[in-house]
Chains A and B, each alone.
Chain A
Amino acid sequence: MTRRRAPVPRPAVALAVLGAALFVLPLVGLVARTPWTALASALGSPEAMAALRLSLVCSLSATAVSVVLGLPLAWVQARAAFPGRALVRALTMLPIVLPPVVGGVALLTAFGRRGLVGRWLDEALGVRLGFTTAGAVLAETFVAMPFFVLAVEAALRGVDTRLEDAARTLGAGRWRVFRLVTLPLAAPAVGAGALLCWARALGEFGATITFAGNMPGRTQTLPLAVYVALESRPEAGIALSLVLLVLAVAVLVGLRGRWLGAP
């Protein structure tokens, strides 16, 4: 007589349960401690509304910039052969693993008032990025765009180049091939990448506070507002956190398991 073996040994199952609990318990805590009765007033406060509005503006702007710049970047990385491509790819992906606060410091050294490019922007054009809403958008783009590029590049690589050849023999130039064949075939990944990118931009904290500061109405996005509110009015902080949680869950539903091009 043989006992049917479980696919995974028991100690591993126990550890897996512990690991899952690590994710589940904080969510339960957040929901349990949410001041449901005072939720409307907590979220309806002018500061909360301002943070929410600013967060939407900044994260959507960052996503738009990521799409406009990230799509060509992914296209070049997927199709063009040039020396140093591996290096460019690595640098593009760096913000994913870089501590966001370091990203903020790096942005300051480049685009701050005394930064490499920032000084010139200030003197020549009178444009200041540090500690402005535009700076918050830049910080969020810096951190979030790699997710978009990564997803789209993988999808573009997956498009059969022979289909592009077929389109060319039918009279389509390179732009038209991209617009009518390559992009539609990669469209699901472009959508998923943009959603992922938006979610990352929405939650951005470290680079934003370092590079753009924490000014209500100008650079104080939702995560920053949560951090500030937790010290003075914890229930407001929890309420705002709940908003971010709901948005995050919505993104997951929207991705429907399509994570970085995985089926």
Chain B
Amino acid sequence: MRLDARVHVAIGGLDLRVELVLGDDQVLAVLGPNGAGKTTLLRALAGLVPLDGGHVALDGVVLEDPRAGAFVPPERRHMGVVFQDGLLFPHLGALDNVAFGLHCRGVPRAAARERARAWLARVGLAGRESARPRTLSGGEAQRVALARALAIEPTVLLLDEPLAALDVSTRAAVRRELTEHLRGFRGVRLLVTHDPLEAAILADRVMILESGRVVQDGPPADVTARPRSRWVADLAGVNLLRGTAHGERIELGMGGTLVVAEPADGEVLAVVRPRAVTLHRVRPAGSPRNVWQGEVVSIDDEGSRLRVSVGGPIPIVAEVTRGAVAELSLAPGVLVWVAVKATDITSYPA
């Protein structure tokens, strides 16, 4: 099973251009900020938004190719879609919602209801067959939506923010079940989310989408280890700096220079973990290769540790203990020396 797509869609202010090849051996999470085009990508794959260019093919069969005039409508794409906030049919009970797709595919009524009943049981909703959607809790509704999508035994499963509408306590439970169903599903699996935790737990491949473009694509750990955009860096909670490397020196785009341990040449991105940044009231002597003076901009409480934003030639965030803050009398406006060891900076080609 292989989904092969080159999606170009221009709607409103969004210009979406994504190339995507996805087999049935991994779960892909499309992650990105609001308005990045994640949902539009999913809807385009499902045939609900027409392509302006490119193609969608499944196992070599072209489902859509505007240049060739090919378009398989959504009802014949055989893709199971779980929509944000479920979108159950309000006038039908849980069982009839699940049986809907089977009914549309010509399964006789009795057999369709029997299979729907089995699917409801598999998502833990036996006994709730006749419940109307408005009487279901958020978690129950999302389970019915999942059963409805799976009941048609699709070859592709698309999930659009499946947990976004749930409250925190339900989310963990539904996420656990969703993990199992995703693992057990044989076919192409694609999940859209804005929650990095959800992506990391449910998927083994993450595609970062920003302003309609793919910024990064790979295993979740790789993506957060080597962020390629500010959004991903913030997600991973690290400092991301951009510059030009000349051997062991990186001339930063914003001004200033960093010294790194591993020499390189050309455009690079450099990641500095906030815990590797140390703050001092007097210029530190000795080993650190990168030392500069800056002014504390803000201090954010992160539980046991505090995140200190320091402005100056190289704006950076340091993560320090409460004790350190008290000892150094850190407060907004205070001048501090910032030190980062060359070995604590990871750099890679931009």
Contact = CB atoms under 8 A, between A and B. Distances in A.
B75 interface: yes
A156 B87 CA distance: 17
A170 B152 contact: yes
A229 interface: no
A165 B87 CA distance: 9
Contacts of B47: 168
Interface stretch (A11-19, A43-51, A173-181): A173-181
A166 B42 CA distance: 13
Interface string B45-61: 01110000000000000
A77 to B, nearest CB: 22
A172 B74 CA distance: 9
Given A165-B48, A170-B104, A171-B152, A181 B89 contact: yes
B87 A171 contact: no
From A162, A165, A166, A176, name the one whose CB has the most chain B CB atoms within 10 angstroms.
Answer: A166
Contacts of A172: 75, 100, 104
Nearest to A168: B74
Interface residues of B, number: 25
Nearest to A169: B81
A185 interface: yes
A167 B83 CA distance: 11
B79 interface: yes
Contacts of B73: 168, 173
Contacts, number: 57
B80 interface: yes
A173 B104 CA distance: 8
Contacts of A180: 100
Contact of A185 (B87, B90, B100, B101): B90
Contact of A169 (B77, B89, B90, B105): B77
Interface residue SS majority, chain A = helix
B83 A166 contact: yes
A80 to B, nearest CB: 16
A176 B77 contact: no
Given A172-B104, A173-B75, A166 B152 contact: no
A67 to B, nearest CB: 20
Interface in A129-170: 160, 162-163, 165-170
B104 A162 contact: no
B80 A169 contact: yes
A168 B48 contact: yes
A184 interface: yes
B61 to A, nearest CB: 17
B148 interface: yes
Contacts of B91: 184-185
B89 A165 contact: no
Nearest to A185: B91
A162 B87 contact: yes
B100 A169 contact: no
Contacts of A167: 89, 100, 104
B104 A169 contact: no
A160 B148 CA distance: 18
Contact of B74 (A160, A165, A185): A165
B87 A168 contact: no
Contacts of B87: 160, 162-163, 165-166
B75 A168 contact: yes
Nearest to A170: B101
Contacts of B74: 165, 168-169
A127 to B, nearest CB: 41
B48 A170 contact: no
A171 B46 contact: no
B200 to A, nearest CB: 27
A185 B88 CA distance: 12
Contact of A171 (B75, B83, B89): B75
Contact of B79 (A169, A173, A176, A185): A169
Contact of B89 (A163, A168, A173, A176): A163
Contact of A166 (B78, B81, B105): B81
Contacts of B75: 168-173
A171 B104 contact: yes
A167 B88 CA distance: 9
Contacts of A173: 73, 75
From B46, B48, B148, name the one whose CB has the most chain A CB atoms within 10 angstroms.
Answer: B48
A191 to B, nearest CB: 14
The 10 closest A-B pairs by CB, nearest first: A170-B101, A171-B104, A168-B74, A169-B81, A166-B87, A172-B104, A184-B91, A168-B75, A171-B75, A171-B105
24 contacts: A162-B87, A163-B90, A165-B43, A165-B74, A166-B81, A166-B87, A166-B89, A168-B73, A168-B75, A169-B46, A169-B48, A169-B74, A169-B75, A169-B77, A169-B80, A169-B149, A170-B100, A170-B104, A171-B76, A171-B105, A171-B152, A173-B73, A176-B104, A180-B100
Given A165-B87, A167-B89, 11 more contacts: A160-B87, A163-B89, A165-B74, A165-B83, A169-B149, A170-B75, A170-B148, A172-B104, A173-B73, A184-B91, A185-B91
